[in-house]
Amino acid sequence: MKATVIKSIRQRREREMHQHAMTTGVPISRTSSRATSLHGSLYQHRTNIVSRSLQRIRLGGKVSVQPEELHRFGSIQAQRTGAALARNPSRVVA
């Protein structure tokens, strides 16, 4: 259909809805779709979990870590990454 036809149909429908709302006294409001509200609630739930866990971790102040602990943590991380790559090589040896 042409845009002008669609526009006129939409305007006629809005006019009818407005007249119906005026006679019944019920205001016209648009509701969100189920998918939109579900997505929004799941996203909000996820962000709430993250923010709550961050509040628990922060403990209201700065966290200080000794250099030895950082080195130990980095070494463990490198060791685990190396083991994972050894199990699942990203390149096939030719």
Instruction: Render pLDDT for 59-77 as a digit per residue (tens, 0 to 9).
Output: 666 667 788 888 888 888 8
pTM, whole model, 2 decimals?
0.30
Q: State the Cα torsion 65-69-75-80 to the nearest 10°.
A: -80
Q: Is the dihedral of CA 86, 87, 92, 94 positive or negative?
A: positive
Checking if the pLDDT of 44 tops 90, the result is no
pLDDT tens profile 13-36: 888 888 888 888 877 776 666 666
